[in-house]
Amino acid sequence: MEYLVHIGILIGIYLILGVSLDLIAGHTGMLSLAHAAFYGIGAYAAAILALRMNVPFPVSVALCMTLGALLGIVLGALTARIRDDYFVVATLALQVVVLRVFKNCIWLTGGSSGLIGIPEPAVGGYVVSSDFGLLLLVGLACCLTVFVSGRIVGSPLGRVLIAIREDEIVACCAGKNVLVHKLTVLAVGGAFAAGAGALYAHYVGFIDPTSFTLMESIFVLSIVIIGGAGTRWGPVVGAAILVTLPEVLRFVGLPGSMAGEVRQILYGGLLVVFVMWRPQGLMGARMIQRGGVQE
Amino acid sequence: MSFKRLEIRHLVKAFGGEIVLSDFSLSACGGETVGLIGPNGAGKTTLFNVITGFLSPEKGTVSFDGTKLVGLPPFRIANLGVCRTFQDVRLIRPLTTVENVLLASRDRTGERLVDVLFRWKRTTRRESKMREAAISLLESVGLLDTVDVAGGELSYGQQKLLSLVCCLASGAELILLDEPIAGIAPEMRGEILSIIRELPNKGKCVVVIEHNFDAISSICDRVIFMDAGEKKSEGTPDEIQTDPIVIETYLG
């Protein structure tokens, strides 16, 4: 039972990461490889706020999310003039820089040994000490994320985001301030990713840089692509499948030493298969036609 | 009611060493349709790109309703009431016809994060009202059947019609049309031309680029013949059609 709760919490955290990245990459077309950086910044900020400053959990989560939003705005402002492949490279750079800071800013982050003893979250005097309580908390956070992202996608703003993804020139001609919309999405996506980081830090109680590497960014991107980029439930399904899949492998009796490698092969293979044969993902109804491909 | 005025003065634009617009001036007023004709490479589309802010000119000024446009970003120019279509139709292919029309609207309700998160009721109310208006607009041009069809799945002619409808929906007062009837079936041509013919009656200022001279003479009050970035001749369609310079280099 405890094991299932653990899986549930992990699915929840990756669901938040997947849904928030889908807003940025799937709906707005900004393929970001820096999502683990946002996630990590939230986790480290939560750990530092709890360990050094004794900031209460709800306040800390709010601060972490604000920090994530600010980082999103900074990323958006720095990449204002670039798009497509160049944007991917810029986010890759951000990811690398942030990871280096985690590793080398030892006085703040503890370097490679990380931060230990992050307390269990306490909401209004009640300490969430059981894993089940935490699952509820994560579940609530998931609902909030899906709710906010669903609203954005289903609103006129969502329509503008699709326009920006498909053809920025059309969006400009329709009078849309493309930069402001991109910053908005990066801020919202960054805030939720940082929030997921804060939940993760309080759940495991120990964080180190290995949880926030480029591989992690790619894993979240796989969730989005395999589930279905730019769809409402795609990242939800993607998170459930990709988190559960390696756990299933555990039961086929694979030795622990091999499990890690097999997992990498599996993710890589799945990603290739989906990109080649079902680029719209599991939940995508129709192929998204790129502007100008036809005719 | 005073009509808004487009004023272009002494525009110069060069790509590297090649001059594509040289000392080009044009003035047009609401309620009038001006045609731009000329061979490929005459600088017609470049002129549109300068007016809409996608290119900045080396020299000269562009103003609309007294506001200087040069130096403003394209989205601001669009919000001043300037709308354009493209030679190779551009619309948002995965969005449906009605969504493309709604996208063109200048009403910003529901496009701000605060509206989405905290003023949801107002957003949805506004959205359903605008949707109704968009559908009746589509109905009036015979696109009712395609309301929920993705823009990318429409025929080429329907796409051109839709991009014109988007200009109407934006409420723009200056409408720049880049070859609105090139490459489409005759029936659709008639439909599009009759919509364009109505625009001046609504106080719109229209500038049309088109190679089909019959079409130009049926919709324009005034025609400008451009060649190598210069205005070579200007007059009523009849005058232009009989102008020896035009006949020699273009119509002949």
pLDDT tens, residue by residue, A8-56: 999 999 999 999 999 999 999 999 999 999 999 999 999 999 999 999 9
DSSP character at residue B145:
G
pLDDT in tens, A211-258: 999 999 999 999 999 999 988 899 999 999 999 988 887 777 777 677
Cβ–Cβ under 8 Å, residues B44 and B215: no
pTM: 0.92
How does pLDDT run across A130-165, given as a tens digit for each residue? 889 999 999 999 999 999 999 999 999 999 999 999
Which one of B54, B92, B115 has the shortest CB-CB distance to A167?
B92
Residue A288 has pLDDT above 50, yes or no: no
pLDDT reading at A121 higher than 60: yes
Residues of A within 8 A of B54 (CB-CB) are 169, 172
Q: How confident is the model at residue A285 (pLDDT cuts 50, 70, 90)?
A: low
Give the position of tokens 């805030």: A191
Across the interface, of B90, B112, B152, the residue whose CB is closest to A170 is B90
Nearest to B100 by CA among B26, B32, B166: B166
Residues of A in contact with B123 (CB under 8 A): 155-156
ipTM of the complex: 0.93
Residues recorded for chain B: 252
Q: Quick one: which H or E segment has residue B70?
A: none
Q: Does B179 touch chain A (CB under 8 A)?
A: no
CB pairs under 8 A between A and B: 96
Structural tokens at position B139: 């109905």
Whether residue A163 and residue B106 make contact (CB cut-off 8 A), yes or no, is no
Of A131, A159, A25, A5, nearest in space to A83 by CA: A25
Q: Tell me the two tokens of residue B251.
A: 């119509």
Identify which of A267, A99, A161 has the alpha carbon closest to the alpha carbon of residue B112. A161
Where in chain A are the domains? 2-210
Task: Give the residue among A197, A48, A205, A14 at the shortest CA–CA distance from A128.
Answer: A205
| pLDDT confidence of residue B2 | 67
- Closest alpha carbon within chain A to B150: A289
**Residue-wise pLDDT tens for chain B (252 aa)?**
568 999 999 999 999 889 999 999 999 999 999 999 999 989 999 999 999 999 999 999 999 999 999 999 999 999 999 999 999 999 999 999 999 999 999 888 899 999 999 999 999 999 999 999 999 999 999 999 999 999 999 999 999 999 999 999 999 999 999 999 999 999 899 999 999 999 999 999 999 999 999 999 999 999 999 999 999 999 999 999 999 999 998 887
Q: CA angle A61-A78-A157, nearest 5°?
A: 65
For B202, the token pair is 């609504």
Task: Tell me what pLDDT residue A295 has.
Answer: 28
Tell me which of B52, B75, B95, B184 to substitute to probe the interface with A (most A C-beta atoms closer than 10 Å). B75
**Cβ B74–A162 below 8 Å, yes or no?**
no
What pLDDT is recorded for position B108? 86
Contacts of A183 in chain B (CB under 8 A): none
Structure confidence at residue A292 (pLDDT): 37
Contact predicate B218/B204, CB 8 Å: no
Q: In percent, how much of chain B has pLDDT > 90? A: 92
Residue with tokens 């960014």: A217
Q: What is the model's pLDDT at position A291?
A: 38
CB contacts of B118 in chain A (<8 Å) are: none
The minimal CB distance from A148 to the residues B83, B117, B156 is found for B117
Task: Name chain B contacts of A176, Cβ cutoff 8 Å.
Answer: 75, 111
Mean pLDDT (chain A, rounded): 91
